[in-house]
Amino acid sequence: MVLRWLSVGGRRVVVMSTSQGTSAGRPPMSLSPSRAGDFMQCPLLYRFRVIDRLPEKPSEAATRGTLVHAVLERLFDVPAVERTAPRARALVPRQWERLLADRPELGELFAGDAEGERLARWLGEAEALVERWFSLEDPARLEPAEREMFVEAELESGLRLRGVIDRVDVAPSGEVRIVDYKTGKAPRPEYSESALFQMNFYALVIWRLRKVVPRRLQLVYLGSGDVLTFDPVQADLERVERKLLALWEAIRLATETGDWRPRRTKLCGWCDHQAVCPEFGGVPPVYPLSVSPADGSDGGQGRMGPDRV
């Protein structure tokens, strides 16, 4: 296993290799929880996002999540006694201004909002989410070891795992807690698997980096005011690693053959790529990579029919 751990900029820790990330028209080189989730949801969506790099419009919900995460991160810059709900609410408009300066295209979300009513309502919703956090955790009693921590680990198999962890708490005893903020509502138990997959992914990376199995994984749902926890053991992480290796093998095969099959689900209604999806009568863009058909009969684009398995 090849691991690289670099400290950059104060409290932020970066774990990274010297290789570059994926760019348009290049095969994938690493796997994150989000992209793993894309492939499991719909292989063609993974292709559009990772290989074709098709543009997607920003959404109010996703941008609000980014804003709230920024506020919760920045609140820990001040002394514990100053980490109050009014202080956190006051950070919302300031962090929005910073986010807008970094990504001016986000201003399009409120195009035509001449009176600023939609923006004011949206900011108010973000403030409410931030304030709800104080009923779930007390930031005055927390001193995170890391915030918005980018991690990357290359496994013995060559698979490179990477992601950004919202918060890592380390107890004096050395026990590690991984915390992830969600601005939506907690899912019903039968739909919680994807959220736990993401957290176990992070736990696996931390285990491989620090040789310590995190004591607790904690999901904080600001939309519903729920806190879900899971205490993993090594066997859980080994199982996740096997799943990721199998998933990466499927991605490798799809990359080589160009066979990225769409999978129609209820989530298709939120997809930006219906115009180029065969499930909706669209034609995908020309596949930018060379292909090696698995059966010797399917050249060029690879099979693009629906997944019937």
Residue 207 pLDDT class (50, 70, 90 cuts): very high
Which of residues 306 and 283 earns the better pLDDT score?
283
Question: Does pLDDT of 274 surpass 70?
Answer: yes
Q: What is the mean pLDDT of residues 180-188?
A: 94
For the record, the structure tokens of 60 come out as: 């109010």
Q: Minimum mean pLDDT among 6-10, 92-96, 166-170: which range?
A: 6-10
CA dihedral (151, 156, 160, 161) in degrees, to 10, reads: -50
Residue showing tokens 């099959």:
261
Residue showing tokens 């751990």:
5
Question: Does pLDDT of 16 surpass 90?
Answer: no
CA distance 192 to 226: 13
Identify the burial level of 284 via C-beta atoms within 10 angstroms of its C-beta, where 0-12 means exposed, 13-18 middle and 19 or more buried. buried
What is the domain partition of the chain in residue ranges?
60-140, 144-246
Are 42 and 251 in contact by the 8 Å Cβ rule? The answer is no
Domain 144-246 belongs to what architecture? Alpha-Beta Complex (3.90)
DSSP string, 120-145: HHHHHHHHHHHHHHTTT--GGG---S
- E-only strand ranges, 241-308: none
